[in-house]
Structure 1
Amino acid sequence: MDLNLRDIRAFITVAQTASFTRAAARLHLSQPALTVQIRRLEETLGLRLFDRNSRNVALTPTGRELLPVLQKSLHDMEHVLHDARALGEGASGTVRIACLPTFAASVLPELVQALRKAVPRVGFEVRDVVASMVNALVRNEETDIGLTGGELNDSGLEVLHAGIDRLVAVLPKRHALARRRRPVTLADLANEPLVLTAQGTSVRAVVDSAFAGAQCVPRIACEPTYMMSAVAMARAGLGITILPASAREVRAEPELVARPIDDPAFTRRIALIRKRGRTLPPVTERFVAMLIERLGTA
């Protein structure tokens, strides 16, 4: 049994006006067209809904019982259609993103605020995790997009934007390398204890590759998972840490300074990704455009 929303709306209007003429005028229909809709609904339901004569129209007892049921059904379906249009137009929806902690703490908050100002009904699900987890979350469709780092060799993922993030040496102001004017070199880093983020992080992959390329083994003092921990350890004098220049954790520490590393190997590839062949929700497409613009000017 297929119920037509227009037929239901016609039935409710006739019931409210108690007149085919007035109902037809309200619905901007001819009276014969309205009569066809009512007859079609009665045939679909297998019920007589109205008793009519030349003077008036009245609901049958069955029609009276069905009126509140069909009113609620029409109300619910109109809300479904309204919500569906809003989703299709990007006026609502949820942006599901997996993101490197660096960007979750730097780029993301401002963009979330900007999109919420433009689309008040938007929601966000943010997973701030290491690069390998970003890729897995997008691949498994637990998030729609991901901002990841390092080499991307997964054919199931599509790159929407690619760029680089430079790494810097973070050390106490009192350190000899901090007082020196020239940039820090890999040879300088090789002679110092280092606080490196753990295996599996995109920053660690870059650092390991740079040292391997120079046929040199780093002196690792500590291997924390999170950048905030690495910064605290560097502040305590446990060693120099190496972090992205964009990391807000660095700028929040007045006792530490960031020095550029004079070596092209200390750059991290970053990529905005989605699962290949998947269509993004319109509101997420809008957020992607904002994110690409922001990354392009960073």
Structure 2
Amino acid sequence: MDLNLRDIRAFVAVAHAGNFTRAAARLHLSQPALTVQIRRLEEIVGVRLFDRDSRNVALTPAGRDLLPLLQKSLNDMEHVLIDARALGEGSWGVVRIACLPTFAASLLPDLIQDLRKDVPRAGFHIRDVVASQVNELVRNEEVDIGLTGGGQADAAFDVLHTGVDRLVAVCPKAHPLARMRHIRLTDLASVPLVLTAQGTSVRAVVDAAFSDARCTPEVACEPMYMMTAVAMVRGGLGVTILPGTAREVRAEPGLIVRPINDPAFVRPIALIKRRGRTLPKVTERFVAAMKQKIDPAPQA
């Protein structure tokens, strides 16, 4: 037989009460049931724990030695149960997410603050990476959910939500494109472009748009990160194309943002998890909040 929580709780209750009747009342047990638990515990440890007579109950020397050990075990086990219930209720836990840098720098901070108002004990493990890395982190279960770019037909994933991110052109205020209210693909094809590197979800959309139009852009440089692209534009190397949600596009007072009047310049995004995996309750709560903040994809 193994020690169980009820037997340990019974021993501690009798030790503190010094009386079986009072201990049974505290535990909402009958006195015979409590006696059975104490006898079972004594059988398991192989030593008498209490000396009893018709009126008094006293710890034996072995009982005195075991009391602090079993009291600590009881406290530890009860804390484990409390934490386990909190995990199950979603009032505690860690949200492990991989997401596109634009989302991490725009919507994510507000979503974290909102969740922590309701779940102060919520923790966050965040990986802000390009779309291909988001997918790998979810696939390898290094995170539980991922916000990634592009359509998702991979059988390894469940798609929890789909949305869109509209792309915009960013140029210096003195640039000829800055005078236009809306920019067309042909306008972009006529100027040097600073495009994010191959493998990024934004670059995939831009390349597809130019390819479908049978047009070849003039690429001045290809940085990996959006902040670097913005710096290149500030330095006069060309015009960049970024998601409208990117805070980088509004961080520079000398630059201006213009919408692109072409339906091809829309980045699909998807909220994914590993197929067949159960999300922690706190993550489910976070997913529900994310769905409300992400622009939904148009219905086919």
Deviations 1:80-99, CA, capped at 9 Å, x for gaps: 11111111111110000001
Provide the rounded CA distance (Å) in 1 between the counterparts of 2:11 and 2:107. 54
CA drift at 1:31: 1.2
Which residue identity is paired with 1:56?
N
Question: Aligned partners of 1:70, 1:180: CA distance in 2, in Å?
Answer: 76
Q: 2:219 — aligned with what? A: 220
Contact preservation (8 Å) 2:164, 2:295: no
The CA distance in 1 between the partners of 2:150 and 2:21, in whole Å, is 70
Please give the secondary structure, in 2, of the residue aligned with 1:47.
Answer: coil
Match of 1:208 in 2: 207
How far is 1:61 from its partner? 1.6
Q: CA–CA distance in 2 between the matches of 1:229 and 1:80? A: 47
Partner of 2:252: 253
Q: How does 1:100-119 map to 2 (within 5 A)?
A: 100-119=100-119
Which amino acid is 1:150 matched to?
Answer: G
Q: CA deviation at 1:28?
A: 2.1
2 CA distance for matches of 1:297 and 1:238?
34
| Partner Cα separation in structure 2 for residue 111 and residue 44 of structure 1 | 51
Residue number in structure 2 paired with 1:124: 124
Q: Percent identity?
A: 73
| C-alpha separation in 2, matches of 1:177 and 1:108 | 31
Query: C-alpha displacement at 1:152, in angstroms?
Result: 2.0
Q: Could you tell me which residue of structure 2 aligns to residue 75 of structure 1? A: 75
Q: CA deviation at 1:290?
A: 0.3
What secondary structure does 2:294 align onto? helix
Determine whether 1:178 maps to 2:190. no
Given the two structures, how large is their TM-score scaled by the length of structure 2?
A: 0.96
Runs of 4 or more, structure 1, over 3 Å off, are: none
Alpha-carbon deviations, 1:232-288, whole Å to 9, x = none? Answer: 111111000000111111112211111111211111000010011100000000000
Match of 2:48 in 1: 48
Map residues 132-281 of structure 1 onto 2, 5 A cutoff: 132-181=132-181, 183-281=182-280
Q: Does 1:59 align with 2:42?
A: no
User: Secondary structure at 2:263's aligned position in 1?
Assistant: coil
Structure 2: distance between partners of 1:250 and 1:210: 21
Q: TM-score, normalised by structure 1?
A: 0.97
1:202 partner amino acid: S
Provide the rounded CA distance (Å) in 1 between the counterparts of 2:50 and 2:10.
Answer: 12
Unmatched 5+ residue regions in structure 2?
Answer: none
Residues 1:289 and 2:282 are matched in the alignment: no
Farther off after superposition, 51-60 or 104-113: 51-60
1:127 aligned partner, one-letter code: R
Q: CA RMSD of the aligned region, Å?
A: 1.3
SS of the equivalent of 2:214 reads coil
Deviation at 1:297? 7.6
Q: Letter of the aligned partner of 2:71 in structure 1?
A: Q
Report the Cα offset of residue 180 of structure 1. 2.6
Deviation at 1:296, TM superposition (A): 4.1
User: Which residue pairs with 2:32 in the alignment?
Assistant: 32
Gaps of 5+ in 1: none
> CA offsets per residue over residues 51-75 of structure 1, 9 Å max, x none?
1111211112211111111111101
